[in-house]
Amino acid sequence: MSTTILPDVSKRSRHGYLFGHPIAHSLSPLLHQTVYDGIGLDWEQFPLDSLDMSLFLKLREDPNFYGASVTMPHKVAIMQHLDSLTPEGAAVGAVNTLFIREDPETGKRLYMGTNTDVIGIRESFYQNISDPDACFHGRPGLVVGGGGAARSAVYALKKMMKASKVYFVNRDRSEVRAIIDECIARGYEGELIDVATVEQAEQLEGVGAIVACVPNFSPISEQERETRAVLESFLRKSHKGAILEMCYHPTPWTEIAEVGQKAGWKIILGTEAMIYQGLEQDKYWTGKELHELPVEKVHQVIAEKLREGGH
C-alpha cells in the first residue's frame, strides 16, 4: 500500500481529495477546479488513487482539508469511519461525499457523509424537463441495472421524483432481489417490481422516468437480449417520458440513448448526473447555493473535455 503517490497539497490554502481506485479517468478534479476558480477560492481537489483506508484517515486530519469525493471501492467501507450520515447517505447505504462540520458543544471536528448521486439523478431530470407533471410525476419509474447507481436511482425516483412505483429491468434476478430487499429494509413505501419478461412488461403501465445504470454494450447472452427486449417494450408504450443514460464513458451517446430517441423519448446524458452530483458536493464544502456556482461554465468545460476524448 505504501506505493500511493501523495500530492503536494501545500500549494493551496485548502485541499480535498478524490479517494478511490482506479480514478485516472475521473472528471471530478476538473469539475471542482472549475467551480473554485469561478468563485475565487484557492482550493484544489487532488486525486488520491489508493486502496489504503488508513492512509486516507490520516490525511483527512490535516486542518486545511475540506472534504473528499469518495468513489469505488470505498463508498461503503468509509461509512464506519464517519461521525454522522445525512438521510440520503443512510438510505442509499453508500457515501460518495465526505464533508466536515464542527460540534457546537465541543468544537470538535465531525466527519460527515452523504450521497450526492441521488441529487445528480434528481437534478438531471428537473433541470432538463420543463414539465415534470406531464412527463414523470405520479407515474412508475424504471431502473435498468443492479449496482450502486441503481440504488441511488431508486431513492431519487421514490423519494424525490414522485414515482408511483419502481420497475427493475436487469439480466440478473438475484441482483434485483438484493436491491428490493434492501429498499424494503430501509423503509421504502410502494411497489418495487422485478420485470423479467416481455410478456410481463406488456401488461404493465407505461413509465415516465427511466434511469439506465449499465455499461454501453450490445446484448449478447440470452439474458441480455431479453433485458433489452423488456426495456424496448416499455419504450414502445404510448406515454413518452425521459431517459437518463448514466453511462458517459467512452461516449455519452449510447445504444440505449439511440434506441430511446428513436422511440420518441427525451434523452438526458449521464454527464448531467455527474455535473449535478459534483455541484451538490461543492454546496456542502463551500456553503454556497447552486445559483452561486458557475453551473454554465462547468457544463462547457466538461463538454469540451469529452470532445477531446477525455472521460
Please give the Cα distance from 256 to 228 (Å, whole number): 9
| Residue of 75, 108, 159, 288 marked active site | 75
Query: The C-alpha cell of 44 is what?
Result: 484544489
Contact 219, 150 (CB under 8 A): no
Half-sphere exposure of 238 toward its Cβ, with a 13 Å CA cutoff?
A: 1
Please choose, from the candidates 148, 116, 149, the residue with its C-alpha nearest in 3D space to the C-alpha of residue 279: 116
162 is catalytic: no
Question: DSSP 3-state assignment of 309?
Answer: coil
Q: What is the CA radius of gyration of the chain?
A: 20
Q: Which residues form the catalytic set?
A: 75
